[in-house]
A and B are shown apart, each in its own frame.
Chain A
Amino acid sequence: MSEQIDELIKQDYEAGFVTDIESETLPPGLNEEVIRFISARKDEPEWLLEWRLNAYRQWLTMTEPDWAHVSYPDIDFNAISYYSAPKSMEDKPKSLDEVDPELLATYEKLGIPLHEQEMLAGVAVDAVFDSVSVATTFREKLEEAGVIFCPISEAVKTHPDLVRQHLGSVVPVSDNYYSALNCAVFSDGSFVYIPKGVRCPMELSTYFRINEAKTGQFERTLIVADEGSEVSYLEGCTAPMRDENQLHAAVVELVALDNARIKYSTVQNWYPGDQDGRGGIYNFVTKRGVAHTNAHISWTQVETGSAITMKYPSCILKGDNSVGEFYSVALSNNHQQADTGTKMVHIGRNTRSTIVSKGISAGQGSNSYRGMVRMNPGAENARNHTQCDSLLIGDQCGAHTFPYIEGKNPTATIEHEATTSRVSGDQLFLCQQRGLDAEKAVAMIVNGFCKEVFRELPMEFAVEAGKLLEISLEGAVG
């Protein structure tokens, strides 16, 4: 059985191609000059440069976190290049027709058509290639509704007040080591603003891709949903196969004002490294949302890629009756290590949170759920329900659960359920006896395990996530 499983885990990374385009890449190294360069390249206002420099100086005084259940060699932050842009971006394209065809072909290969297909899908896409936002489609239609969806570098100029008001308001500059680094060197990312009472007419979506070698990607996403508005946002990520590790340290901030709803879905498929654990992305991301009165924030993530993941999309339930949700599928195959979960901080009265975490470990993968639920003294009648399930495939992988529960209000209710199970030989044999090959069987069993989370994804993403899981598990049983 375990041999059978071992053999199934071998798989190819389908998004592992490199695009041959000319790019302008800063030499590796980090200092104030580099930050000034990035800021100047983006023609940023003085306040933002100062903000970056302040973050950099704070970062210098901080140390890398070492509490996560992952291990990796020290990162040499001076061996990373902090800015890379496709050269054809020098003269920024005015429309899709002017975008480098090679670049567009890359997105095609990734299954992200920027042209007609996504018209049909009705998805507005902002694509971030290495450090620069390449194309934002559907802007006119969104503008009609008053929705702002553009690269954050552009929003800094076109909507400086909004950006300045909210940037860093949810994740403070010095929140943690990687968020401070991101503040200092963030390259680009998406900015979304949904005006009062507006329901965003389409799903918004960003695709991130790291193409250049030895570059880091530090994108920054800021979503502000004004009172009574509603938005669903999707992000997808891929990177080429490379032998060296690459760093991805993003920050995502969500602001849901009174009665607003934000649904944020991620399908993360960064290059996970090869079967021996060489290469792959370090995915150290800070994601947090603040929910005001009656607001609703829902995080859904499907994490199949990256060599190492440390990521805890969180909700600050500040307003009364606000709701936070976290639905997660995290897969660790081969030598992947994932330490992921959430933080639900209940501040307001009658706040509710739901956590559903599905961790899958295969090969020699290590999967840890780390989640904090805190009921502040003022969180009258607040409720949390956590369900944390682990599935093991084979006998060399690991699953761990680190719940942190702090109840400071006697009227609050906190529930935590956890299960650990494995894909059993009996289940596999049942499937095979009915004609399914072992790979298909494992994929089906794992998909069944993840169903509660996939249900939360927008339809087309749910299908994609199912397929991605199937590909990521290829070779998990033989």
Chain B
Amino acid sequence: MLSIHDLYASVDETEILKGLSLEISDGEVHAIMGVNGSGKSTLGHVLAGRPGYTVTSGSVRMDDQDLLELEPEIRSRAGLFLAFQYPVEVPGVTNLEFLKAAVEARSRHYGEEPLNASEFLKQARGICDAVNLDQSFLRRGVNEGFSGGEKKRNELMQMMLLQPKVAILDETDSGLDIDALQVVADGVNSLRAPDRSFVVITHYQRLLNYIEPDYVHVLVGGRIVRSGDKSLALELEEKGYRWLEDEVA
């Protein structure tokens, strides 16, 4: 599904990713862990095609497509979703308009009939309920005045509506209390499917108690230095990252 090979990328001419390789198959959940500055979030943004993130070498394929060739919006329509660590506000644009525009961009791209307005509204309301957001959120500006937890649930709502093939969660747990974390994890777990993969970027093992990964990778200095199953996360919880960094050094 997603195949990253020897990826080098830089931001403002500083090299952040230095030869990262990762194979993700259908239906798998991969956790990416590491300290600040190890390149975790950069990986998410590079995959999503954020302007300013320059790939200097390496390749990324998604479903036999060269992902790096595609514009960010085309990557999205092809099924790549990035849940942001800090979702930005878009004042005056209601959630409903935003979601509708996103869904319509997809159906137009694939030459499908657009969903009719009442069907869409029904679906959006159902998803609101599922992520425990009041339906009035649909009429509010995108993330406008939302609390940290509400913003994360809003990201989840978008993900549920867009049904991606590969979902990248960028530190979705940051700033969440335990109840909100549970809601978000439940939402993610409900989306787990044989044809959908997840890349869960996190500092802490805590999130992985709720979203159980198939694989755990540790990023140090822009490369994966250790991979394992979920027990690796527990080991990190216990021993910290230092021993791995020392090993690499």
Residues of A at the B interface (CB closer than 8 Å) are 1, 4, 424-427, 429-438, 440, 444-445, 447-452
Task: Decide if B71 is an interface residue (CB 8 Å cutoff).
Answer: yes
Majority secondary structure, A binding face:
helix
The reply to whether A433 and B76 form a contact with Cβ atoms under 8 Å apart is yes
* Residue on B nearest A452 in the bound complex, by CB: B92
The reply to whether A448 and B91 form a contact with Cβ atoms under 8 Å apart is yes
Min CB distance, B140 to chain A, in Å?
Answer: 11
Decide yes or no: A430 and B101 within 8 Å by CB, A425-B51, A448-B91, A448-B141 being known contacts. no
CA distance A43 to B46 in the complex (A): 72
Residues from chain B with a CB closer than 8 A to the CB of A452 are 92
- For chain B, the bracket of interface size reads 20 to 34
Residues from chain A with a CB closer than 8 A to the CB of B87 are 430
Interface string of B138-176 (1 = CB under 8 A from A): 000110000000000000001000100000000000000
CA distance A429 to B105 in the complex (A): 15
The reply to whether A435 and B48 form a contact with Cβ atoms under 8 Å apart is no
Residues from chain A with a CB closer than 8 A to the CB of B92 are 447-452
The reply to whether B52 and A425 form a contact with Cβ atoms under 8 Å apart is yes
CA distance A452 to B91 in the complex (A): 11
Closest 3 CB pairs of A and B: A448-B92, A448-B93, A434-B102
The reply to whether B51 and A448 form a contact with Cβ atoms under 8 Å apart is no
Task: Decide if B73 is an interface residue (CB 8 Å cutoff).
Answer: yes
* Residue on A nearest B144 in the bound complex, by CB: A448
> What are some 24 contacts across the A-B interface (CB < 8 A)?
A424-B88, A425-B51, A425-B52, A429-B50, A429-B51, A432-B49, A432-B71, A433-B72, A433-B84, A434-B158, A434-B162, A435-B77, A435-B102, A436-B102, A436-B105, A437-B73, A438-B73, A440-B105, A444-B90, A444-B97, A447-B92, A448-B90, A448-B92, A448-B93
Given contacts A427-B90, A435-B162, 16 further A-B contacts (CB under 8 A): A427-B89, A432-B76, A433-B72, A433-B81, A433-B82, A434-B102, A434-B105, A435-B77, A436-B73, A437-B73, A444-B97, A447-B93, A448-B91, A448-B93, A448-B141, A450-B92
Min CB distance, B60 to chain A, in Å?
Answer: 16
Residues of B at the A interface (CB closer than 8 Å) are 48-52, 71-73, 76-77, 81-82, 84, 87-93, 97-98, 101-102, 105-106, 109, 141-142, 158, 162
The reply to whether A435 and B90 form a contact with Cβ atoms under 8 Å apart is no
CA distance A438 to B12 in the complex (A): 22
The reply to whether B72 and A429 form a contact with Cβ atoms under 8 Å apart is yes
Decide yes or no: A437 and B52 within 8 Å by CB, A430-B87, A448-B91 being known contacts. no
CA distance A450 to B72 in the complex (A): 26
CA distance A435 to B162 in the complex (A): 9
Min CB distance, A5 to chain B, in Å?
Answer: 11
The reply to whether A449 and B88 form a contact with Cβ atoms under 8 Å apart is no
Residues from chain B with a CB closer than 8 A to the CB of A435 are 73, 76-77, 102, 105-106, 109, 162
Decide yes or no: A434 and B50 within 8 Å by CB, A424-B88, A444-B101 being known contacts. no
Min CB distance, B208 to chain A, in Å?
Answer: 24
Decide yes or no: A430 and B84 within 8 Å by CB, A435-B109, A444-B101 being known contacts. yes
Residues from chain A with a CB closer than 8 A to the CB of B109 are 435
